Amino acid sequence: MRSFGSDNHSGVHPAILEAIASCNVDHEIAYGDDNYTARAREIFKEQFGPQAEVFPVFNGTGANVVAQRACVRSFNSILCAETAHIAVDECGAPAFMTGASLCPIPTPDGKLTPELIRPHLTNWGFEHHSQPKSVYISQCSELGTVYSCDEIRAIADLIHPHGMYLHLDGARIANAAVALGKTFKEMTTDCGVDIVSFGGTKNGMLMGEAVVVLNPELVPELKYHRKQCAQLSSKMRYLSTQFIAYFENELWKKNATHANAQAQKLRQRITELLGDVFTQRTDCNILLLKLPRPVADRLAKTTFFYYWNEADDEIRLVTSWDTTDEDIEKVVKALCDK
């Protein structure tokens, strides 16, 4: 069965598999002192700016935990959207691994704003309260919306005078860059982002994630946090070579462009059939919509998907780098059938 449940459900792009096979020769020094990781570091500097330092890790939760460990201490708090991945889908790992408390903030569209953040910038120096130290945003958001560069910069400008850090979770950062028509640097470094969880797994890689540090203050201790969080790979060349292939010939852009385009095509086809049943904008490759339960049950017989809010009959459909037109028509046919 084909799946619209998650872009994690898709396979690995052939170019990534070829890169892994091609590096599987001879011996290389372990723990990141290999030639492939050296090249990957150069590429990340090209993408994010010369000050960028990259630390490959195994997975997205690991990247988020390592990034937050660099930003906060146990008496701090992490501000995030109520729907944020670290608040909903990581089994409490960020709070458990940092000791810091999460401060989830309700949002209408999965995006934080200075107006939503400002009321939580309180109790400075008051020992009975956690001290705000980090703001976490997802780009794209879990609701399929995308922050503009101006929106990111506004958050950074608000919190930096308070000595706080801005962490951007880029599990779908390629989809956001394509949606905005921006480079990674324009969307992060130039907007005042301090640290990035850079994801590739959802966009055609096998297990490629990295912590990209943009603020030099956070670099010195990062390697120790990565080790303590069990995110240091001994045979790191197999992670790093994926990033080389991912950036070469802009594979990241080709994959994300296709996923985003297929999401728009799917949204249009559903709208033609059912009208405006969508609950959020579709800025990237995530669609949120409401379907009557009988219709959703019928769709589930041919296509895998998740309920986003089962009590409200809201489902989530996610397109991938390998979503075909046939996949989309299969959904349409299921919605048409009686």
- Residue 83 in contact with residue 110, Cβ under 8 Å? yes
* CB proximity list for 29: less than 8 A, separation 6 or greater: none
Comparing C-alpha atoms, which of 113, 109, 60 is closest to residue 283?
109
Q: How crowded is residue 284: how many other Cβ atoms within 10 Å of its Cβ?
A: 28
Q: Do 301 and 259 fall into the same domain?
A: yes
Q: Do 89 and 134 fall into the same domain?
A: yes
Whether 162 maps to a domain, the answer reads yes
Q: Do 229 and 279 fall into the same domain?
A: no
CA dihedral (204, 233, 49, 93) in degrees, to 10, reads 80
- Structure token pair of residue 252: 């990241």
Predicted pLDDT of residue 1: 72
Whether 47 maps to a domain, the answer reads yes
Q: Do 142 and 271 fall into the same domain?
A: no
Whether 2 maps to a domain, the answer reads no
Q: Do 219 and 296 fall into the same domain?
A: no
The residue type of 153 is: R
Q: Do 133 and 101 fall into the same domain?
A: yes
Q: Do 277 and 289 fall into the same domain?
A: yes
Whether 4 maps to a domain, the answer reads no
The total domain count for the chain is 2
Whether 278 maps to a domain, the answer reads yes
Whether 8 maps to a domain, the answer reads no
DSSP string, 64-81: HHHHHHHH--TTEEEEEE
Q: Do 224 and 150 fall into the same domain?
A: yes
Predicted pLDDT of residue 2: 86
Burial class (CB in 10 A: 0-12, 13-18, 19+), 239: buried
- Between CA 192 and CA 157 the distance in angstroms is 8
The packing angle between helices 237-247 and 14-22, to 10°, is 130
- Residue 63 in contact with residue 223, Cβ under 8 Å? no
The packing angle between helices 237-247 and 35-48, to 10°, is 40
**Which residue range(s) make up the domain with 295?**
251-336
CATH number, domain containing residue 285: 3.90.1150.10
Comparing C-alpha atoms, which of 121, 113, 105 is closest to residue 152?
113
Q: Do 286 and 164 fall into the same domain?
A: no
CATH number, domain containing residue 156: 3.40.640.10
Predicted pLDDT of residue 208: 80
Predicted pLDDT of residue 338: 59
Instruction: Choose the final residue of a domain: 218, 250, 282.
Output: 250
Q: Do 103 and 218 fall into the same domain?
A: yes
Q: Do 245 and 270 fall into the same domain?
A: no
- Between CA 299 and CA 307 the distance in angstroms is 12
Instruction: Choose the final residue of a domain: 222, 250, 278.
Output: 250
- Between CA 196 and CA 173 the distance in angstroms is 9
Comparing C-alpha atoms, which of 190, 191, 232 is closest to residue 211?
232
Q: Do 44 and 112 fall into the same domain?
A: yes
Whether 64 maps to a domain, the answer reads yes
pTM: 0.96
Distinct helix (H) and strand (E) counts, the chain: 14, 10
C-alpha 281, offset from chain centre: 18
Predicted pLDDT of residue 54: 98
- Residue 322 phi, psi (nearest 5): -115, 15
* Sequential pLDDT tens for the chain (338 residues): 789 999 999 999 999 999 999 999 999 999 999 999 999 999 999 999 999 999 999 999 999 999 999 999 999 999 999 999 999 999 999 999 999 999 999 999 999 999 999 999 999 999 999 999 999 999 999 999 999 999 999 999 999 999 999 999 999 999 999 999 999 999 999 999 999 999 999 999 999 899 999 999 999 999 999 999 999 999 999 999 999 999 999 999 999 999 999 999 999 999 999 999 999 999 999 999 999 999 999 999 989 999 999 999 999 999 999 999 999 999 999 988 65
